[in-house]
């Protein structure tokens, strides 16, 4: 099981990858949204804000259910996805990654991955 610091590093890696996306492409597909990532096996949650310039830094969150896009994943799977060892689509279809969002948000995010 990964620890809190490893999860933070994984989330920072995801944010850094998103920052590498072409600005025009990002602007085309991104609508400002709050995003939470609940790390179920550690009982932790992190929150960020997605916008045209990318993701804000992730911070600890006590109310992950209030975010517009909610991810739930175990720590090891989060780290594996961040380091390209686990495909997010495969994790989602296998039930290892849960995503709660509007259908429109899901379609927009899919285009960025």
Q: What is the pLDDT of residue 28?
A: 78
Nearest one of 105, 112, 32, 21 to 71, comparing CA atoms: 105
**What percent of the chain stands above pLDDT 90?**
72
Q: What is the mean pLDDT of residues 41-56?
A: 93
Alpha helices by DSSP H, 20-56? 23-29
Tens digits of per-residue pLDDT, 63-85? 999 999 999 999 999 999 999 99
Tokens for 43, please give them. 């009982």
pLDDT at 111 over 70: no
Q: What is the pLDDT of residue 56?
A: 93
């Amino acid at each position: 099981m990964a620890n809190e610091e490893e999860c933070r590093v994984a989330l920072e890696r995801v944010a850094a990858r998103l920052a590498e996306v072409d600005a025009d492409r990002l602007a085309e597909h991104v609508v400002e949204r709050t995003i939470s990532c609940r790390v179920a096996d550690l009982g932790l949650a992190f929150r960020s804000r997605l916008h045209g310039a990318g993701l804000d830094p992730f911070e600890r969150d006590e109310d992950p259910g209030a975010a517009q896009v909610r991810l739930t994943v175990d720590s090891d799977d989060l780290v594996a996805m961040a380091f390209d060892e686990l495909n997010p689509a495969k994790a989602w279809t296998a039930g290892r990654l849960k995503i709660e969002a509007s259908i429109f948000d899901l379609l927009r995010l899919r285009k960025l991955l």
